[in-house]
Amino acid sequence: MTQERLSRRALLKGMGGGMAVLALAACASAGQPAPVSESAEATPAEGAPPVAPAERVDLVMWTAWGGQDDVDRVRIILDEFQELHPGIMVELTGGGPGGGDYNELLLTRIAAGNAPDVASLFTPPVGFAARGSLDVIDELMATAEYARPDKFWQPVLDTCKFRGKTYGLPFSAASYGMFYNVDWFEEAGLPTDRESFPQTFDELRALSAQFVAWEGDELKTGGFVPWSELWTSPAWSGCNGAQWFDSRNEQYTINDPGNIALLQYWVGWLDEQYRGDVEYIASLGAWHTGQDGNWFQKVTPLSQGGAWNTSYSYMKYETAGFRWDVAKFPVGPDGEKSRTAFWPNWFAMPIGGPHRTESFLLMEYMCTVGMPTWYAEVFDTPAWLDFPDDVITQNLIDNVGADKALEMHNFFIDYLEDAVEVWTSPIEDFGTDQINRAIDQVMHKVKTPQEALDEAQQIAQTRLEETLRSL
């Protein structure tokens, strides 16, 4: 009997262990009012004069940005907005991680009918819009103070449109370019100014060959690895006179001759400079400009990236250990001019929100006059045409100097004029996955460009038509 009781106590001890403490913690938190988050405390909302209840509108806004710095920046923009509109109270939910998890969350909420009033999107609004879950904002834009339809870069605003209606606003545009290591170019006796950078595929390939150095079976330094960043493929396709998707005709154009030729060209490049072994090249690490990339490790002087890359801390000349610059993508044999693509962030209003006018005001503010606050810290080039000229990302200025920073700012913004159509398919992610899969198979030589792109075309087009039928 004693043993029994002992063991039961031991059991309780084991089970409960620290549970007493936990229970206390539980009671403590249940008994207290929910602690106000610090960032909320920092907002002037609490100190602001009380607003008459009748005027007050409560909005919920979500951001997909997960990093605390990002969320804090959004909060600063919100504070500015609330000073202008004291009657609109915005509750910000951020800190949810970006990417797929955020989509899960947003889809769940939309399906359950309690979506936020305004939400930022990392995937293009057209997919949500085509399935009827976002508000049409055309008539609100027509009378808007800042977000007039003609006040955005058109290819970027097009990513918010489906069959002529507008379903959201671009927050940023962020075009892509070629990055090159200026110090290394100098060492190699090459001109380092942007105008001298290769203008055609063949020139770039020849330049790349200069940096490819094999030592036995080992690649010591590499040149350029064009297929390494699949998300830039729309720009490459455009440079070779083709595109992946044509929204006007609601038609995938994956097996366009220009695209087939592009992949054929890449395979030739792989064979000529990298001994035809895509996996070996991949196993040497990433070829992007990131801090874990071969660019940063000085294995390659050539890379590609988005405008946002320029403002990273590790891109500082002193951190990286070299100076760099940006240039335009080269033109392919079948192309006419250099083209770029872009990766925006978006804001949209899930359908059914009770405060359309106020939600639009908030969304408009984020994507226009509020955006400079963000841009002052992150080089996510703007999509809004009335963007003030004097705002440029501070850490870029600290790095390259004010003149050069302004010049880079203009470079990425002007380059948007030559942007191809992207992010406009209602099955964007599905289509992109098919294209990337095809490129992967071609570079692995599992399929020829013709076979792989034909197959991707057929799958994507079938799915597109099936989806359009179901709308």
Partner 1 sequence: MSVEALALRRSRSGARTAKRVVAPLRHLLLSGVALIWVIPFLWLIITSLKPLEQVFTRPPKWIPEPILWRNYIDALNNPGFNFGRLLRNSMLYSGLSTVGTAISCSLVAYGFARMRFWGRDVWFVVLLATMMIPGVVTMIPTYVLFRVLGWVGGYAPLIVPAFFGSAFYIFLLRQFFLSLPWELTESARVDGAGELRTFGSIMLPLIRPALMVAVVFNFLGTWNDFMGPLIYLSDNSKFPLSLGLYAFQTKYQRDWHLMMAASLVVTIPMMILFFAAQRQFIEGITITGMKA
Partner 2 sequence: MIEAEAQARAGVPTDRARLGQRRARLLRQNVKGYAFISPWIIGLLVFSAYPVLASFYFSFTKYTVLKPPVWIGVANYANMVTQDPVYWKSVSNTLYYGLISVPLGLAFSLFLALVLNQAVVGIGVYRTVYYLPAIMPPVAATLLWMLLLDPGNGLVNSGLRSLGIGRPPGWFSEAAWAKPALIIMSLWGSGGTMLIFLAGLKDIPKTYYEAAEIDGASAWYRLLNITLPLLTPVIFFNLIMGIIGSFGVFTSAYIAGGSSSGGGYGPGGTAGGPLDSMLMYMLLLYRNAFRYFEMGYASAMAVTMFVAILSLTLVLLKTSGRWVYYEAAVPS
Task: Enter the DSSP assignment of 286.
Answer: B
Name which of 230, 234, 200, 420 is nearest 327 in CA terms.
200
Task: Build a one-symbol-per-residue string for 3-42: x at contacts with partner 1 by CB under 8 A, - elsewhere.
Answer: xx--xx-xx--xxxxxx-xxx-xx-xx----xxxxxx---
Size of the site for partner 1 (CB under 8 A): 61
Q: What is the smallest separation between the CB atom of 111 and partner 2, expressed in angstroms?
A: 5
355 contact, one of partner 2, partner 1, none, CB 5-8 Å limit per kind: none
Q: Does 68 bind partner 1 (CB under 8 A)?
A: yes
Specify the residue, 359 or 457, whose C-beta has the smaller distance to partner 1: 359
User: Please, is 29 exposed, middle or buried when counting C-beta atoms within 10 Å of its C-beta (0-12, 13-18, 19+)?
Assistant: exposed
Name which of 192, 196, 174 is nearest 184 in CA terms.
192
| Cα distance between residue 471 and residue 456, in whole Å | 23
| Cα distance between residue 144 and residue 408, in whole Å | 31
Q: Does 70 bind partner 1 (CB under 8 A)?
A: yes
Q: What are phi and psi of 425, to 5 degrees?
A: -85, 140
| Cα distance between residue 232 and residue 178, in whole Å | 10
268 contact, one of partner 2, partner 1, none, CB 5-8 Å limit per kind: none
CB 81 within 8 A of CB 24: no
CB 356 within 8 A of CB 140: yes
CB 311 within 8 A of CB 379: yes
Residues 120 to 159: which contact partner 1 by CB under 8 A? 122
- Name residue 211's amino acid: F
Helix 19-31 and helix 2-16: axis angle, to 10°? 50
CB 78 within 8 A of CB 39: no
436 contact, one of partner 1, partner 2, none, CB 5-8 Å limit per kind: partner 2
User: Of the ranges 70-78, 130-138, 275-283, 435-443, which one interacts with partner 1 (CB under 8 A)?
Assistant: 70-78
410 contact, one of partner 2, partner 1, none, CB 5-8 Å limit per kind: none
Task: Build a one-symbol-per-residue string for 72-91: x at contacts with partner 1 by CB under 8 A, - elsewhere.
Answer: x-------------------
Name which of 130, 200, 206 is nearest 168 in CA terms.
130
Specify the residue, 246 or 433, whose C-beta has the smaller distance to partner 2: 433
Kindly list the distances between the CA atom of residue 399 and the CA atoms of 293, 324, 408, in Å, as whole numbers in the listed order. 20, 11, 12
Q: What is the smallest separation between the CB atom of 353 and partner 1, expressed in angstroms?
A: 16
Q: What is the smallest separation between the CB atom of 283 and partner 2, expressed in angstroms?
A: 3
Specify the residue, 405 or 435, whose C-beta has the smaller distance to partner 2: 435
Q: Per-residue b/e over 94-109, b at no fewer than 16 CB within 10 Å?
A: bebebeeebbebbeeb
User: Please, is 466 exposed, middle or buried when counting C-beta atoms within 10 Å of its C-beta (0-12, 13-18, 19+)?
Assistant: exposed
User: Of the ranges 186-194, 311-319, 390-398, 417-425, which one interacts with partner 1 (CB under 8 A)?
Assistant: 311-319
Q: Does 183 bind partner 1 (CB under 8 A)?
A: no
Q: Does 369 bind partner 1 (CB under 8 A)?
A: no
Residues that bind partner 2 (CB under 8 A): 99-101, 103-104, 107, 110-111, 122-123, 127-128, 131-133, 216-218, 228-231, 279-280, 282-288, 290, 292-294, 297, 299, 427, 429-430, 433, 436-437, 440-441, 444, 446, 455, 459, 470
Contacting residue, 48, 83, 93, 471, with partner 1 by CB under 8 A: 93
Contacting residue, 202, 308, 394, 404, with partner 1 by CB under 8 A: 308
The number of beta carbons lying within 10 Å of the beta carbon of residue 170 is 28
Specify the residue, 71 or 144, whose C-beta has the smaller distance to partner 1: 71
Binding residues for partner 1 (CB under 8 A): 3-4, 7-8, 10-11, 14-19, 21-23, 25-26, 28-29, 34-39, 64-72, 93-99, 101, 104-105, 107-108, 111-112, 114, 122, 290-292, 296-297, 308, 312-314, 319, 378
